[in-house]
Amino acid sequence: MGKKGKERAKERRRQRLEEIAELREVPYSPSERWWSGETAAVVTGANRGIGLEIARQLAAHGLRVVLAARDAERGRAAAERLREEEGLCVEPRQLDVTDSASVDAFANWVSSEYGGIDILVNNAGVNFNTGADNSVESAEEVIATNYFGTKRMIKAMIPIMKPSPFGARILNVSSRLGRVNGRRNRVGDEALRERLLQDDCLSEELIDGMVTKFLEQVKLGTWSLNGWPQMYTDYSLSKLAVNAYTRLIAKRILDKPEGEKIYINCLCPGWVKTAMTGWAGNISAEEAADTGVWVVLLPPEKAPNGKFFAERREISF
């Protein structure tokens, strides 16, 4: 893309962000508000950044929100600010998505305290690369948190999602860096790309095998020779796995009967000014959270399943 093309793309995006800002000011009509003060939402990694903002916006729309955080004290402090400064219904709870015992204990608590949940936002994630850095020293932790942690939460929460005529909602915070055919981040293995894009070929074995193979090559020091994403490699691969797993689960739950529907989708929040990016992003956490909140609050007749969103629009996997 030449200089003029980049400038046109930048201008189109600026206009789109202005449109979204205007849309955020339009209140939901009574007919659109399928939720109530008893609707329970869980947001992971919610003590700061995008997770905190998603929790804040959901609570501002009148939902009961569980603010889940690995660091219990930071989670309590974040929830207290939302309650004291904005009067929001937010409850903190410690949760480490990389720990099976922590996830099981959390699921048992949510089931006991709330009778289950209506919305799950899998936001907890880590990234140790900034700028031009592309280290894979923390690849195991990145994959364990971003992919296996998300997968663990989905498996634990689906059984306790409340039956509802409106459908329960799962949103996985992901990234365009995890697109199968990303311009700079495509996987070099063409056969693998084809299998990842074909719903009939998707399986846990395929996705888990991909990340396991990558981690094995990281340990051997051969990963850079094997066609993995070129930019933020471990983070990108973790999000590629999240995207593929989202589509797999969407297919599995597609035929759930009316009253037990669950809709699962992905969100790319964009390059956001948060601690994860070293505050070098180009949009605020408030702007980034908007699309995720919009997706999970769509009325049932418009609720998507197995889709990928950015800036209130569907994008390709």
Alpha helices in the chain (DSSP H): 3-24, 49-60, 72-86, 100-114, 139-143, 150-157, 190-197, 204-220, 233-252, 285-296
What does residue 65 show for φ and ψ, rounded to 5 degrees?
-120, 130
Written as six digits, the tokens of 251 are: 């297919």
Q: Of 114, 235, 245, 263, which residue is the catalytic one?
A: 235
Q: Which amino acid is at 247?
A: R
Identify whether the C-beta of residue 304 lies closer than 8 Å to the C-beta of residue 298.
Answer: yes
Written as six digits, the tokens of 84 are: 């004291």
What does residue 43 show for φ and ψ, rounded to 5 degrees?
-125, 120
Tracing tokens 């629009």 back to the chain, one arrives at 313
For the question of residue 235 being annotated catalytic, the response is: yes
The secondary structure of 106-154 as a DSSP string is HHHHHHHHHSSBSEEEE--------TT----TTHHHHHIIIIIIHHHHH
Catalytically annotated residues: 235
